[in-house]
Structure 1
């Protein structure tokens, strides 16, 4: 048995890296390019690696591919930063994924919501209980889609033995403020981690910081770590000029492009990695790769963002 979560030192800091999952020409998982992608991100200064998660097309991966991707991430990082991988969907599938992630040597699990079905609040607590019972690893629960927590439910989930964090993908700032306050009030709540998990999280990072949520996942880091790190540094140092410049000239136009086609929150990121020189292949169904016009617009945005941070 591993050390109980209550005794773990599961600390997150800096920009959190959600790598894409590279596919070879035949559509299979490309472990070599995944290793290169992750090594590049860690070398650039990632504070943690979340492999085979949303940006990594979790929805399109087999349980065996999740396990393989996790092993690659664990091997490449070699303990330099925490490695988490995703589990989710039906309880039996999520339990199997959690066990595989543990065997692969990960430091923790990002638990996605139940698949499709809506559930009462106590049912969401039960879901987290049943999945976390299958692992000894620390778990971060991802609030999004079919899982919208009240502050009471969030506090109940935060009180479970292996749950160490909550990632928010809903974007209700007022609700998140109440959730943070409720969780901080439970025993050990001061050590609980909160993450802004919205797509292109930098756009809302200042607002989330205002309610006590300083951590966020950066999809941009996957293809332009220079921009993501410059933004994070400016946010931490209170440099409003740089923050607003990057929001206006890079992040806001990126969001407008992202919103033109469903699924671009992932497809554009993968295209960005290809633009920067690593052939990670295309996306799996039901997503579609960006059109040539959209790829050209993305390339132009990346150039503008790089110019802004090197000026």
Structure 2
């Protein structure tokens, strides 16, 4: 196993950051804004940073843009935490992303589901085996959308040396229990649900305490306070932030396809830290929903000021 493997695996234990990819008004990648955004995210002390993934609009990046973003992140983070890059698409495309991420200096990969193509478990196993074989980097599987694994498939992939974790964005607790049993817990499980904080307690029951926080990208104060309360068993603070911030945010996210990303960029803009527009097929948040998001942010910050962790 390569030297970076143990460092990446050890990092997947806390609050995981998924920064956006900022764009200019004309739609180009905005690298200066990207580096300042990374500085904002790093201030919250995440245990790892995942760039050019779902939140980073991987599906809308060209191969050259992907490598540029990953390299910029690696140089800016400068080893303070591991940097994992997104890879996705068909098998050969994902393998190209993997090799490019390694050339750019990434520490690991999050392999997103293949787009549109839905195959049987044997096909998924072959896909992820080939992507993992294309690189020396540690690989995190992502269960969501077109990549729903059988327990036997995960058990087989868990034997691949550089596959180090499974991020779940599917939310089937029965399936996760069976996967955990089939792998005897050998493959760490990460909570990758949209608005993951809403599911944090459920995943903790499976031993999955690390989770990806989209909120960390635009309201880091609330994200850090919730994680601290979660780690400390402070259920009162968790309940308060869930009621005042996370539940309304989750409801708003579910109102419109693509809002899992669009709301983050809208939130950054509301807070005076714009990262530019989203790329199609995502759409900008409507004025009505933008006002609703601003109220949710205000409620979250007001709730935070009343908590002991504040």
Give the TM-score of the pair, scaled to structure 1.
Answer: 0.95
Q: Does 1:238 align with 2:233?
A: yes
Which of residues 214, 217, 220 is equivalent to 2:212? Answer: 217
Partner-residue secondary structure (3-state), 2:9: coil
Spell out, residue by residue over 1:227-284, the C-alpha distance to the aligned partner (whole angstroms, 9 max, x if none): 0111111111111101111111111111111111111111001111111222211110
Which of residues 282, 288, 294 is equivalent to 1:293? Answer: 288
8 Å CA contact 1:107, 1:138 repeated in 2: yes
Shift of 1:88: 1.1
Shift of 1:3: 2.2
Gaps in structure 2 of 5+ consecutive residues:
none
Structure 1 residues 178 and 81, CA gap change in structure 2 (3 angstroms): same
Partner-residue secondary structure (3-state), 2:118: coil
Q: How does 1:1-311 map to 2 (within 5 A)?
A: 3=2, 10-11=9-10, 12-184=12-184, 189=186, 192-311=187-306
8 Å CA contact 1:5, 1:161 repeated in 2: no
Shift of 1:304: 0.9
8 Å CA contact 1:4, 1:136 repeated in 2: no
Number of matched pairs: 305
Partner-residue secondary structure (3-state), 1:84: strand
* Mapped partners of 1:299, 1:212: distance in 2: 34
* Mapped partners of 2:70, 2:7: distance in 1: 20
The two structures, once aligned, show a CA RMSD in angstroms of 1.4
Partner-residue secondary structure (3-state), 2:290: helix
Shift of 1:145: 0.9
Partner-residue secondary structure (3-state), 1:204: helix
8 Å CA contact 1:14, 1:215 repeated in 2: yes
* Mapped partners of 1:5, 1:74: distance in 2: 14
8 Å CA contact 2:8, 2:82 repeated in 1: no
Shift of 1:79: 0.7
Structure 1 residues 151 and 244, CA gap change in structure 2 (3 angstroms): same
8 Å CA contact 1:5, 1:162 repeated in 2: no
8 Å CA contact 2:88, 2:114 repeated in 1: yes
8 Å CA contact 1:180, 1:212 repeated in 2: no
8 Å CA contact 2:53, 2:110 repeated in 1: yes
* Mapped partners of 2:36, 2:5: distance in 1: 34
* Mapped partners of 1:53, 1:3: distance in 2: 23
8 Å CA contact 1:21, 1:52 repeated in 2: yes
Give the TM-score of the pair, scaled to structure 2.
Answer: 0.95
Shift of 1:9: 5.8
Partner-residue secondary structure (3-state), 2:46: coil
Dislocated runs of 4+, deviation >4 Å: 4-9
The 10-residue stretch of structure 1 (274-283 or 26-35) with the greater mean CA deviation from structure 2: 274-283
Gaps in structure 1 of 5+ consecutive residues:
none
